[in-house]
């Protein structure tokens, strides 16, 4: 890369000929028609100093003007969290570490604990000198389990730089507490761990989360329900059926929540009736903000004439779910019943969607399919397996565990898909 910079720097100030060096890019000196870029060639050294004159244009326009003459050079840079463009050179540089996170509240302890934080691995960070010269840019990255994202940019030692988070790349409803941030780079590269700028993105006033000290506004709607799904003649005794229990839960908060409902039931004479879901009597699911879900529990096989059984549903737990900002685009979500898997007592639904990485690199992601009935109530969810999404192509992702909906309750009419990290 240093050789590439030297090749670029050796071009004459008034040269307009195509550069035919190793990377085959083209650059121009400052002319009347191209005043935005000026090549200053040293008289004492073969390698001059190329500087991007940003002028007084708006921030985004200045960056675009600065980058146009070196787009071919950018094309050969490695993509990812450490991709950099250096327009200001120094004989000695220092890797400046930058950290970014999105938190629902200000963390209470180090490192970023108590703030319900997730990595801001989607924002764009730009570093300039105090005079506006571009030093570099990067996109923070994170791995599974991280609560912050980070990246590094080589900066000249002994100068003050301005580090800026691009507000257009921040998740809507959040904003950095300090932006831009001036940073004094030491005169010599420091030894050991050396902290850099930290971008803490908190909710804006109109999207502030519910106070952690206040109980979540998640509640059961009406009493628990029960019904019997009769067996078809070829599937069991037609005089019997599966006893089912259900309860509707409303999430009135502004966050996705994980809820857990416990059903308890008895016969008319007080004998307990067992019911179970995938995880036993505790029925678990997630509910999107400001939405309602119907959770069910399968009981025993009973005669169709059974009467006076009693069922009680209890909201056992409700917890906010931290989700990472989306790193991929989801499109063309579809679902349909599967005749091969369904039966006269239940309909099995399969779903799929197309996904593509929003980043210039591959990302690992899983999808969550939410199924809704005609009243807008969530009747079930289905996760996908984890997949690697590419920015170069779309790929189909399917529901890993098809949704079963018995014939005694409302069927789904639409599906909604979201990238997930839980």
Could you please report the per-residue DSSP string of 156-196? ETTSEEEEEE-GGGSPTTEEESS-SEEEE--SSPPSS----
Token pair in block for residue 263? 């059903």
Residue 111 confidence class, pLDDT cut points 50, 70, 90 = confident
Residue 21 confidence class, pLDDT cut points 50, 70, 90 = very low
According to DSSP, the β-strands at 181-184 and 198-203 are: unpaired
Domains 218-320 and 328-420 share a fold: yes
pLDDT for residue 55 is more than 60 = no
Domain 328-420: which CATH number of 1.20.1560.10, 3.30.70.2860, 1.10.3720.10, 2.60.40.10? 2.60.40.10
Cα separation, 33 vs 105, in Å, equals 50
What are the pLDDT digits (tens) for 184-225? 988 877 766 567 899 999 988 655 554 444 567 899 998 999
**pLDDT top residue among 270 and 292:** 292
Q: Residue 111, preceding bond cis, omega within 30 degrees? A: yes
DSSP-assigned letters across all residues of 332-347: EEEEEE-TTT-BTTEE
Looking at residue 91, its pLDDT comes to 57
Read off the pLDDT of each residue in 83-102 and give the average, rounded to a whole number: 68
Tell me the chain's radius of gyration from C-alpha atoms: 29
Strand partners, 93: 156
Cα separation, 202 vs 101, in Å, equals 9
CA 311 → CA 222, 225, 262, 264, 297, distances in Å? 13, 7, 10, 6, 11
CA 237 → CA 184, 245, 301, 307, 313, distances in Å? 80, 21, 10, 18, 29
Q: Which residues contact 392 (CB under 8 A, 6 or more apart)?
A: none
Q: Which residues contact 304 (CB under 8 A, 6 or more apart)?
A: 228, 230, 239, 240, 241
Residue whose tokens read 């737990």: 317
pLDDT for residue 19 is more than 60 = no
Specify the CATH architecture of the domain 218-320: Sandwich (2.60)
Read off the pLDDT of each residue in 295-317 and give the average, rounded to a whole number: 88
Cα separation, 55 vs 131, in Å, equals 9
Residue 405 confidence class, pLDDT cut points 50, 70, 90 = very high
pLDDT for residue 72 is more than 50 = no
**pLDDT top residue among 83 and 225:** 225
Selection from 420, 112, 119 nearest residue 286 by Cα: 420
The proportion of the chain whose per-residue pLDDT surpasses 90, expressed as a percent, equals 41
CB 151 within 8 A of CB 138: yes
CA 38 → CA 9, 33, 134, distances in Å? 11, 12, 13
Residue 380 confidence class, pLDDT cut points 50, 70, 90 = very high
Residue 76 confidence class, pLDDT cut points 50, 70, 90 = very low
**pLDDT top residue among 330 and 280:** 330
Looking at residue 106, its pLDDT comes to 86
Residue range 78-205, CATH number: 2.60.40.10
Read off the pLDDT of each residue in 45-74 and give the average, rounded to a whole number: 33
pLDDT for residue 335 is more than 80 = yes
Residue 367 confidence class, pLDDT cut points 50, 70, 90 = very high
pLDDT for residue 374 is more than 90 = yes
Average model confidence (pLDDT) across the chain: 76
Read off the pLDDT of each residue in 251-278 and give the average, rounded to a whole number: 85
CB 99 within 8 A of CB 196: yes
CB 370 within 8 A of CB 415: yes
Among the residue ranges 104-108, 209-213, 301-305, 378-382, the one predicted with the least confidence is 209-213
Cα separation, 55 vs 67, in Å, equals 13
Selection from 196, 16, 188 nearest residue 96 by Cα: 196
Looking at residue 382, its pLDDT comes to 94
CB 328 within 8 A of CB 362: no
**pLDDT top residue among 20 and 239:** 239
- The domain segmentation of the chain, as residue ranges, is 1-76, 78-205, 218-320, 328-420
CB 287 within 8 A of CB 376: no
CA 5 → CA 51, 89, 212, distances in Å? 12, 9, 52
When mean pLDDT is compared over 9-18, 92-101, 136-145, 315-324, the highest value belongs to 92-101
Torsion of CA 117, 323, 258, 289, to 10 degrees: 100
pLDDT for residue 32 is more than 70 = no
Cα separation, 53 vs 29, in Å, equals 12
In this structure, how many other beta carbons lie within 10 angstroms of the beta carbon of residue 42?
Answer: 10
Looking at residue 193, its pLDDT comes to 59
Strand partners, 149: 100
Cα separation, 28 vs 50, in Å, equals 11
DSSP state of 141: B
pLDDT for residue 170 is more than 70 = yes
Looking at residue 208, its pLDDT comes to 53
């Amino acid at each position: 890369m240093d050789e590439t910079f030297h090749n670029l720097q050796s071009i004459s100030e008034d040269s307009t000929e195509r550069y035919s060096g190793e990377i085959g890019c083209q650059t121009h000196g400052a002319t009347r028609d191209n005043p935005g870029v000026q090549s200053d060639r040293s008289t004492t050294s073969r390698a001059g100093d190329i500087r991007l004159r940003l002028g007084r244009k708006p921030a985004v326009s200045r960056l675009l003007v600065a980058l146009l003459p070196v787009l071919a050079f950018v094309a050969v840079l490695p993509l990812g969290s450490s991709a950099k463009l250096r327009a200001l050179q120094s004989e000695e540089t220092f890797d400046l570490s930058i950290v970014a996170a999105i938190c629902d509240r200000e963390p209470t302890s180090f490192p970023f604990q108590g703030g319900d934080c997730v990595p801001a691995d989607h924002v764009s960070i730009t570093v300039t000198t105090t005079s506006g010269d571009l030093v570099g840019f990067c996109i923070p990255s994170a791995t599974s389990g991280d609560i912050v994202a980070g990246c590094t940019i080589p900066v000249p030692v002994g100068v003050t730089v301005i580090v800026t988070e691009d507000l257009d790349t921040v998740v809507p409803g959040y904003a950095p507490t300090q932006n831009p941030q001036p940073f004094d780079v030491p005169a010599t590269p420091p030894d050991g761990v050396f902290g850099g700028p930290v971008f803490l993105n908190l909710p804006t006033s109109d999207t502030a989360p519910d106070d952690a000290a206040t109980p979540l506004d998640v509640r059961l709607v009406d009493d628990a329900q029960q019904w019997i799904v009769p067996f078809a003649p070829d599937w069991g005794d037609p005089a019997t059926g599966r006893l089912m229990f259900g309860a509707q839960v409303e999430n009135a908060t502004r966050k996705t929540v994980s809820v857990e409902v416990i059903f308890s039931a008895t016969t008319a004479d007080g004998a307990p009736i067992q019911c179970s879901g995938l995880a036993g009597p505790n029925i678990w699911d997630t509910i999107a903000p400001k939405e309602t879900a119907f959770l069910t529990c399968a009981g025993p096989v009973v005669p169709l004439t059974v009467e006076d059984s009693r069922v009680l549903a209890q909201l056992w737990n409700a917890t906010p779910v931290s989700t990472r900002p989306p790193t991929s685009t989801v499109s063309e979500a579809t679902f349909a019943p599967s005749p091969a898997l369904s039966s006269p007592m239940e309909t099995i639904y399969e779903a799929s969607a197309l996904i593509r990485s929003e980043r210039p690199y591959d990302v690992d992601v899983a999808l969550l399919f939410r199924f809704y009935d005609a009243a807008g109530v969530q009747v079930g969810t289905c996760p996908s397996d984890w997949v690697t999404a590419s920015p170069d192509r779309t790929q189909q992702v399917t529901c890993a565990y098809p949704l079963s909906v018995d014939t005694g309750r409302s069927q789904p009419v639409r599906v909604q898909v979201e990238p997930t990290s839980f």
